[in-house]
Amino acid sequence: MGRTVRGRVLLAGLALLVAVAGVGGWLLVRPAPEPPGRADVVLVLAGGRGEREATGARLARQGGAPVLVFSDGGRPGSSSGQLCRQRFAGVRVLCLTPEASTTRGEARAFAELAGREGWRSVTVVTSSYHRRRAGLLVGRCFQGTVRSVGAPPNGVDGPEIVPFAAREGAAVLAALTVQRGC
Protein backbone atom coordinates (compact mmCIF):
# COMPACT_ATOMS: atom_id res chain seq x y z
CA MET A 1 0.00 0.00 0.00
CA GLY A 2 2.87 2.42 0.82
CA ARG A 3 4.36 2.05 -2.66
CA THR A 4 1.01 2.79 -4.33
CA VAL A 5 0.48 5.98 -2.31
CA ARG A 6 4.05 7.10 -2.94
CA GLY A 7 3.64 6.42 -6.65
CA ARG A 8 0.42 8.42 -6.81
CA VAL A 9 1.97 11.33 -4.92
CA LEU A 10 4.95 11.26 -7.26
CA LEU A 11 2.67 11.11 -10.30
CA ALA A 12 0.52 14.00 -8.97
CA GLY A 13 3.66 16.05 -8.29
CA LEU A 14 4.95 15.37 -11.78
CA ALA A 15 1.58 16.33 -13.30
CA LEU A 16 1.60 19.57 -11.30
CA LEU A 17 5.16 20.34 -12.43
CA VAL A 18 4.22 19.75 -16.07
CA ALA A 19 1.13 21.96 -15.71
CA VAL A 20 3.11 24.80 -14.08
CA ALA A 21 5.84 24.52 -16.72
CA GLY A 22 3.21 24.56 -19.46
CA VAL A 23 1.54 27.67 -18.10
CA GLY A 24 4.91 29.30 -17.45
CA GLY A 25 6.04 28.45 -20.96
CA TRP A 26 2.87 29.87 -22.44
CA LEU A 27 3.34 33.12 -20.50
CA LEU A 28 7.01 33.41 -21.43
CA VAL A 29 6.76 32.40 -25.07
CA ARG A 30 3.62 34.11 -26.33
CA PRO A 31 4.38 37.22 -28.39
CA ALA A 32 3.79 40.81 -27.34
CA PRO A 33 0.14 41.76 -27.91
CA GLU A 34 0.83 45.12 -29.56
CA PRO A 35 3.42 46.44 -32.01
CA PRO A 36 6.26 48.29 -30.32
CA GLY A 37 5.77 51.71 -31.94
CA ARG A 38 8.57 54.17 -32.60
CA ALA A 39 11.53 54.57 -30.23
CA ASP A 40 14.81 56.49 -30.16
CA VAL A 41 16.73 53.24 -30.50
CA VAL A 42 16.29 49.52 -31.12
CA LEU A 43 18.53 47.42 -28.87
CA VAL A 44 19.19 43.83 -29.99
CA LEU A 45 20.44 41.65 -27.16
CA ALA A 46 23.04 38.98 -27.80
CA GLY A 47 22.08 35.35 -28.06
CA GLY A 48 19.57 33.30 -29.93
CA ARG A 49 20.13 31.83 -33.35
CA GLY A 50 19.87 34.90 -35.55
CA GLU A 51 16.20 35.63 -34.89
CA ARG A 52 16.99 38.58 -32.64
CA GLU A 53 19.23 40.30 -35.15
CA ALA A 54 16.78 39.76 -38.03
CA THR A 55 13.86 41.14 -36.01
CA GLY A 56 15.82 44.16 -34.78
CA ALA A 57 17.09 45.02 -38.24
CA ARG A 58 13.59 44.69 -39.68
CA LEU A 59 12.11 46.96 -37.00
CA ALA A 60 14.74 49.64 -37.55
CA ARG A 61 14.48 49.50 -41.36
CA GLN A 62 10.69 49.80 -41.11
CA GLY A 63 11.04 53.06 -39.18
CA GLY A 64 10.94 51.72 -35.63
CA ALA A 65 14.01 53.79 -34.68
CA PRO A 66 16.75 55.82 -36.36
CA VAL A 67 19.42 53.95 -34.37
CA LEU A 68 20.06 50.20 -34.14
CA VAL A 69 22.34 48.89 -31.39
CA PHE A 70 23.61 45.33 -31.51
CA SER A 71 24.97 43.92 -28.27
CA ASP A 72 27.67 41.35 -28.77
CA GLY A 73 27.12 40.10 -25.23
CA GLY A 74 30.78 40.64 -24.38
CA ARG A 75 31.85 38.29 -27.18
CA PRO A 76 33.20 40.47 -30.03
CA GLY A 77 33.18 37.60 -32.56
CA SER A 78 29.46 36.92 -32.07
CA SER A 79 26.92 37.18 -34.87
CA SER A 80 25.63 40.44 -33.35
CA GLY A 81 29.17 41.81 -33.21
CA GLN A 82 29.63 41.02 -36.90
CA LEU A 83 26.43 42.87 -37.79
CA CYS A 84 27.87 46.06 -36.29
CA ARG A 85 29.96 46.40 -39.43
CA GLN A 86 26.91 46.28 -41.72
CA ARG A 87 25.04 49.37 -42.86
CA PHE A 88 21.31 49.79 -43.20
CA ALA A 89 19.91 52.67 -45.26
CA GLY A 90 18.67 55.46 -43.03
CA VAL A 91 19.68 53.69 -39.80
CA ARG A 92 22.71 54.45 -37.64
CA VAL A 93 24.24 51.15 -36.44
CA LEU A 94 26.24 50.88 -33.21
CA CYS A 95 27.83 47.99 -31.35
CA LEU A 96 27.66 47.50 -27.61
CA THR A 97 30.20 45.36 -25.75
CA PRO A 98 29.19 44.95 -22.10
CA GLU A 99 31.73 44.16 -19.40
CA ALA A 100 29.62 41.28 -18.10
CA SER A 101 28.30 38.63 -20.50
CA THR A 102 24.81 38.70 -18.98
CA THR A 103 21.51 40.38 -19.73
CA ARG A 104 22.09 42.58 -16.70
CA GLY A 105 25.54 43.50 -18.08
CA GLU A 106 23.94 44.40 -21.40
CA ALA A 107 21.31 46.51 -19.60
CA ARG A 108 23.98 48.42 -17.68
CA ALA A 109 26.11 49.03 -20.77
CA PHE A 110 23.08 50.17 -22.75
CA ALA A 111 21.98 52.58 -20.00
CA GLU A 112 25.46 54.16 -20.04
CA LEU A 113 25.37 54.55 -23.83
CA ALA A 114 21.81 55.89 -23.72
CA GLY A 115 22.84 58.50 -21.16
CA ARG A 116 25.65 59.72 -23.43
CA GLU A 117 23.39 59.73 -26.49
CA GLY A 118 20.37 61.31 -24.78
CA TRP A 119 17.94 58.53 -25.74
CA ARG A 120 14.61 58.48 -23.92
CA SER A 121 12.96 55.38 -25.41
CA VAL A 122 14.11 51.92 -26.47
CA THR A 123 12.65 48.84 -28.09
CA VAL A 124 14.52 45.82 -26.72
CA VAL A 125 14.64 42.84 -29.10
CA THR A 126 15.34 39.40 -27.72
CA SER A 127 13.97 35.87 -28.02
CA SER A 128 10.29 35.50 -27.12
CA TYR A 129 10.98 33.42 -24.01
CA HIS A 130 13.39 36.14 -22.74
CA ARG A 131 11.26 39.22 -23.49
CA ARG A 132 9.76 39.91 -20.08
CA ARG A 133 12.99 39.59 -18.09
CA ALA A 134 15.01 41.55 -20.64
CA GLY A 135 12.50 44.40 -20.52
CA LEU A 136 12.53 44.32 -16.72
CA LEU A 137 16.34 44.44 -16.49
CA VAL A 138 16.77 47.17 -19.10
CA GLY A 139 14.02 49.16 -17.37
CA ARG A 140 15.88 48.98 -14.06
CA CYS A 141 19.00 50.53 -15.59
CA PHE A 142 17.56 52.85 -18.26
CA GLN A 143 15.38 55.71 -17.07
CA GLY A 144 13.37 56.08 -20.29
CA THR A 145 10.48 54.20 -21.87
CA VAL A 146 11.20 50.51 -22.47
CA ARG A 147 9.23 48.28 -24.83
CA SER A 148 10.25 44.74 -25.62
CA VAL A 149 9.77 42.55 -28.66
CA GLY A 150 10.15 38.80 -28.61
CA ALA A 151 11.42 37.08 -31.72
CA PRO A 152 10.35 33.42 -32.04
CA PRO A 153 13.44 31.28 -31.45
CA ASN A 154 14.83 29.72 -34.64
CA GLY A 155 14.86 25.93 -34.67
CA VAL A 156 13.09 25.57 -31.31
CA ASP A 157 9.51 24.35 -31.50
CA GLY A 158 6.97 22.58 -29.34
CA PRO A 159 8.39 20.68 -26.39
CA GLU A 160 11.93 21.85 -27.18
CA ILE A 161 11.00 25.26 -25.74
CA VAL A 162 10.43 23.79 -22.25
CA PRO A 163 14.10 23.95 -21.11
CA PHE A 164 14.34 27.56 -22.36
CA ALA A 165 11.11 28.50 -20.56
CA ALA A 166 12.17 26.69 -17.37
CA ARG A 167 15.59 28.36 -17.29
CA GLU A 168 14.03 31.73 -18.05
CA GLY A 169 11.35 31.15 -15.40
CA ALA A 170 14.06 30.60 -12.79
CA ALA A 171 15.90 33.72 -13.97
CA VAL A 172 12.69 35.79 -13.77
CA LEU A 173 12.13 34.58 -10.20
CA ALA A 174 15.71 35.56 -9.32
CA ALA A 175 15.26 39.00 -10.92
CA LEU A 176 12.05 39.57 -8.98
CA THR A 177 13.43 38.43 -5.64
CA VAL A 178 17.19 38.41 -5.03
CA GLN A 179 18.63 40.34 -8.00
CA ARG A 180 16.49 43.46 -7.80
CA GLY A 181 19.01 46.19 -8.73
CA CYS A 182 20.39 47.37 -12.03
Domain count along the chain: 1
Q: Which domain covers residue 56, as residue numbers?
A: 28-153+160-177
In a domain, 182, yes or no: no
In a domain, 19, yes or no: no
In a domain, 170, yes or no: yes
In a domain, 22, yes or no: no
pTM for the structure as a whole: 0.78
For 68-82, give the DSSP string: EEEE-TT-TTSHHHH
In a domain, 93, yes or no: yes
Q: Is the separation of the CB atoms in 109 and 142 below 8 Å?
A: no
Rounded-to-integer distance, Cα 155 and Cα 161, Å: 10
In a domain, 3, yes or no: no
In a domain, 49, yes or no: yes
In a domain, 2, yes or no: no
- Which domain CATH number covers 59? 3.40.50.620
Q: Is the separation of the CB atoms in 41 and 119 below 8 Å?
A: yes
Each of the 182 residues of the chain gets a pLDDT tens digit; together they read 567 767 666 666 565 455 445 545 554 555 545 567 899 999 999 988 788 999 999 999 999 999 999 998 767 677 666 677 778 788 999 989 899 889 999 999 999 999 999 999 999 999 888 888 999 999 999 999 999 998 887 766 667 667 777 777 788 788 888 888 89
